[in-house]
């Protein structure tokens, strides 16, 4: 197909399936919330400052990711390493902050079984967290062993990083909706 | 996507601008939540800001704005199924509301 690599079409089809996966959970959330007699305000139960910090971390990591790709497009491999390294570090930072949040809840014996609200909170943020972990593994691979491809086939390597980037921006996009829906409303 | 360095540098400046907009919208959405608006306006406002932020990410970071038609077809089909996914369960909810209304009258 002209102008469209298999990897790009493939990653978009995968992201389409991800939209359906998260869509099912958002749909479930809406139904449970509208069907419930009362629903707690997210900010009264969850830590908004920590989640705001995590939102900023994830947005920043999205920029460093796209900068990593742009660096390869400009033939600057050193810069790519720097931006990709930052992306992985920021993603790890997100998980550390999330870990603190989970830790504080578990300390107070709050689990998914506590209430429907917490069941939804742990399920949706947990699934999102798994996606962050997946992003760390993929981006970590392209940061170190996977980057060997740059020497032999830079165009293909740039394409792979672009696909990894599309996935990473999607993970950011999901959080952009999760944050207000769970924490602020 | 052109490999022209000058063009990519233009993109980079755009990415920085988009980042600033995303950060600003995050501050706005958190700030608005402290106003404790009633449920409907709060939901509409929060989801509008989230949609703007999401569109910025999709259009610029994911380069959707300059993407091929095929990707849009894939996304249109996904959007259709996503709306169906939201709509079908809400039909059952709608029926329950309808029954309640009949019961009241």
Stretch among A136-140, A173-177, B94-98 having the lowest mean pLDDT:
B94-98
Note the pLDDT tens digit of each residue in B64-75. Answer: 998 889 999 999
Note the pLDDT tens digit of each residue in B50-92. Answer: 999 999 999 999 999 988 899 999 999 999 998 888 888 777 7
Give pLDDT, residue B39: 84
Note the pLDDT tens digit of each residue in A52-85. Answer: 999 999 999 999 999 999 999 999 999 999 999 9
**Contact residues, chain A, for B50 at CB < 8 Å:** 176-177, 179-181
Give pLDDT, residue A108: 97
**Contact residues, chain A, for B23 at CB < 8 Å:** 56, 59
pTM: 0.92
The residue length of chain A stands at 185
Contacts 24+ apart (CB under 8 A), A79-87: A80/A147, A80/A161, A81/A143, A81/A147, A84/A139, A84/A142, A84/A143, A84/A161, A85/A143, A86/A61, A87/A61, A87/A139, A87/A168
* A14 at B interface, C-beta within 8 A: no
**Separation in Å, CA B35 to CA A25, A33, B41:** 28, 22, 11
Give pLDDT, residue B1: 46
Suggest the residue from B4, B23, B44, B82 to mutate for an interface test with chain A (most A CBs closer than 10 A): B82
Scanning A23-42 for CB atoms below 8 A from B yields 23-24, 26-27, 30-31, 34-35
- CB–CB contact A16 B74 (8 Å): yes
pLDDT of A178 above 70:
yes
* B77 at A interface, C-beta within 8 A: yes
Total Cβ atoms within 10 A of residue A27: 17
Give pLDDT, residue A154: 96
Q: What is the mean pLDDT of chain A?
A: 95
Give pLDDT, residue A170: 98
Q: Output A98 or B9, whichever has higher pLDDT.
A: A98
Give pLDDT, residue A13: 95
> Rounded to an integer, what distance in angstroms lies between the CA atom of residue A1 and that of residue A74?
25
Q: What is the mean pLDDT of chain B?
A: 86
What is the pLDDT averaged over residues B12-37?
A: 94
* A173 at B interface, C-beta within 8 A: yes
**Contact residues, chain B, for A74 at CB < 8 Å:** 5, 8-9
């Amino acid at each position: 197909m002209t102008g469209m690599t298999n990897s790009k079409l493939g990653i978009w089809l995968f992201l389409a399936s991800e939209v359906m996966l998260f869509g099912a959970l958002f749909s479930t959330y809406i139904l449970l919330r509208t069907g419930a007699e009362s629903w707690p305000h997210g900010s009264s139960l969850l830590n908004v400052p920590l989640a705001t910090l995590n939102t900023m971390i994830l947005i920043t990591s999205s920029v460093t990711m796209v900068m990593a790709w742009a660096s390869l497009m400009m033939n600057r491999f050193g810069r790519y390493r720097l931006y990709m390294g930052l992306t992985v570090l920021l993603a790890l930072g997100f998980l550390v902050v999330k870990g603190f949040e989970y830790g504080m809840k578990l300390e107070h014996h709050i689990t998914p079984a506590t209430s429907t609200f917490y069941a939804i909170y742990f399920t949706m943020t947990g699934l999102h967290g798994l996606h962050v972990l997946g992003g760390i593994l993929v981006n970590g691979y392209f940061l170190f062993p996977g980057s060997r491809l740059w020497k032999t086939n830079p165009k293909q390597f740039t394409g792979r990083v672009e696909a990894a980037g599309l996935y990473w921006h999607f993970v950011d996009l999901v959080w952009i909706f999760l944050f207000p829906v769970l924490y602020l409303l | 996507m052109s490999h022209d360095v000058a063009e990519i540098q233009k993109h980079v400046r755009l990415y920085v601008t988009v980042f600033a907009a995303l950060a600003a919208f995050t501050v706005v959405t958190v700030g608005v939540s402290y106003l404790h608006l009633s449920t409907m306006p709060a939901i509409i406002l929060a989801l509008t800001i989230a949609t703007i932020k999401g569109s910025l990410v999709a259009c610029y970071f994911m380069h959707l704005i300059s993407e091929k038609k095929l990707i849009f077809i894939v996304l249109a089909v996904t959007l259709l199924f996503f709306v169906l996914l939201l709509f079908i369960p809400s039909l059952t909810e709608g029926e329950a509301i309808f029954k309640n209304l009949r019961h009241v009258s």
